[in-house]
Amino acid sequence: MKAATIRSFFENSNQNGFGFLTVVVLFYLFVFFFIQFFQHKKRYYLLYSLYALVNAASLLKYIDGVFFSDFFDTSLGRVYDRAIHYPSQLFGSLFFSYFIIEIMQLRKTFPKSIKVIDVAYLVSSIIFLVLWGVYMNDYSSYLIDYFHAYVFLILSYIVFFAAFYMVAKGNMAIKGYILSGMSVLVISYFAISVMSMRAMTANRETLYIYYIGILIESLLFALAIGLEQKMVYREKALVQKKYIQQLEENQTMKESINRTLSEELLQTKTEIEDLSAEAQRERTEKLTMKFENKFAQLRLNALRSQMSPHFIFNALNSIKSYFIDNDQEKAIFYLSKFSKLIRCILESSRAEEISLKEELDILEMYIAIENDRFKNDIQFKIASDEGIELENIMIPALILQPFIENAIWHGLSTKKGEKLLNLSVGYSKLPNTIEISIADNGVGRRVSEDRNLTNPLKKESLGLTLTRDRLDLFSKKFQKHYSYRIEDIIDETIGDALGTRVVVQIPNA
């Protein structure tokens, strides 16, 4: 008796409010996940909200005894029913399939299979909509019925089970909820399809199977979406923790550099005062040389101290933009590269000279970080002549960085189109001398100078000024030739600038 009563209740779902409850739940899910889409910008929120809307709209006509029931007995209601019946089948299948693809990230794990699904759905959807248009023009046409029953419905089941297999192969935490929801839905939908295959329409007395299936599926998918959002928040919190740790490490390094600089300033001041007190006329040139050498070292340290805060500021702005874009993987990758570069700069600052290979390694990291903010538009290449051993060539530490920085910011940053930056190491015409060439295809010095004239705040580059002074002091100290020159790359046919080349000459003996 109880079983008969329960069965009777469910068979009368369209009259006793159970069907109406299902429609209300679907409309609620549509509104809720549509709002979530605008808050979190995740496409699977939008797809699931539209899927819920399509289901709710297609079930309205089956509900009896509510305020909108009489509408479907009117001529306008019958037109509405005919208009949405077939599109709801099409878009319901599309929204559901792509919801599964998006939330389970199947495009990453099965890219080729998803492309096949895309093509199959695109072709079948175009045919479906064309036949629907024929049907709307002539209600006696059965072409869309045949296509839906024998083509699109079969395709939907194939895509469903293919997606089911791909989800089962995945390793996401929400896999169990998704598989359970898909299983419940396909069982209920298959039962309804079998029962209504002859009539080509849903059997009202068996719709309760679909109502129960859609409610259970909605609960399971809601749990899956909630768990996925929880995992995203957890991952974001972990990234933020690493970000804060990196900031603290950078602040510690900055404070260490400032303390070292203050100590060196105090020590240099004391040495200068002692040297001035002991100076004699016959030792004036020697003492002056020592003073200039110390002063150059102090200016180099000042440059490094300026460079670290500048780099930290720019890098943190880039990292901040990645967090705004919710790109945690790239933010962590950028933090690692930035930290490695800072460590290399600190290590090189302890030595007066480093090998050319070490210098080039630092430059590659520097350009990689700068280039990231230019959307990787700059193509940087390093080449060296055969027989040159980069490990055995010693150069002043960080001597090439100002040239690279000028090439990027004054030559390439405002250039449109292809951006090239080439560094080559070769033998100079001078004996026992290595020639390092840095060439870019930027706007050229003339355009850059014209822009500087219009901006009174632009001044001569501090990096180039210090570089020139350091090379002069190295020449005097070691009695060898250290120099650089800057020249324009000119198109000889029309006389236009094709870029700028810096040539640095370093002794190799």
Mind spelling out the 3-state secondary structure of 452-465? HHCCCCCCCCHHHH
Q: Return the number of other C-beta atoms located less than 10 Å from residue 460's C-beta.
A: 8
Helix 153-169 vs helix 75-103: angle between axes, to the nearest 10 degrees?
30
| DSSP helix/strand/coil, 492 | coil
What pLDDT sits at residue 158? 92
Query: Which contacts qualify for 409-415: CB closer than 8 Å, 24 or more apart?
Result: 410/442, 410/443, 410/448, 411/440, 411/441, 411/442, 411/443, 411/444, 411/448, 411/499, 411/500, 412/374, 412/378, 412/440, 412/441, 412/442, 413/374, 414/443, 414/451, 415/441, 415/442, 415/443
Spatial contact of 440 and 497, defined as CB atoms under 8 Å apart: no
| DSSP helix/strand/coil, 297 | helix
In order along the chain (509 residues), what is the average pLDDT of each group of 10 residues?
65 76 88 88 89 88 77 80 86 91 90 92 93 88 87 90 90 86 82 61 67 83 80 72 77 79 77 69 63 58 50 64 70 77 74 87 85 78 90 88 84 83 91 92 75 52 72 82 88 80 89
Spatial contact of 305 and 258, defined as CB atoms under 8 Å apart: yes
Tell me the one-letter amino acid at 117. I
Q: What b/e readout covers 360-378, taking b as 16+ CB neighbours within 10 angstroms?
A: bbbbebbbbbbbbeeeeeb
Whole-angstrom distance between the N-terminal and C-terminal Cα of the chain?
106
Read off the tokens for 404.
């690279």
SS (H, E, C) 206-224: HHHHHHHHHHHHHHHHHHH
Spatial contact of 437 and 501, defined as CB atoms under 8 Å apart: yes
What pLDDT sits at residue 91? 92
The Cα–Cα gap between 197 and 200 comes to: 5
Distance of CA 231 to the CA centre of its chain: 19
Tell me the sheet residues that pair with 484.
504
- The string of DSSP letters for 460-487 reads --HHHHHHHHHHHHHHHHHTS--EEEEE
Residues 6+ apart with CB under 8 A from 200: 145, 149
Read off the tokens for 43.
């496409």
What pLDDT sits at residue 504? 94
The Cα–Cα gap between 250 and 230 comes to: 30
What pLDDT sits at residue 308? 44
Q: Structure pTM? A: 0.49
Sheet holding 497-507, edge to edge: 378-384, 419-427, 433-440, 497-507, 483-490
Nearest CA among 200, 185, 143, 196 for reference residue 52: 185
Query: Which contacts qualify for 78-83: CB closer than 8 Å, 24 or more apart?
Result: 82/135, 82/136, 82/139, 83/136
The Cα–Cα gap between 99 and 48 comes to: 6
Q: Return the number of other C-beta atoms located less than 10 Å from residue 20's C-beta.
A: 22
Q: How many residues does the structure list for the chain? A: 509
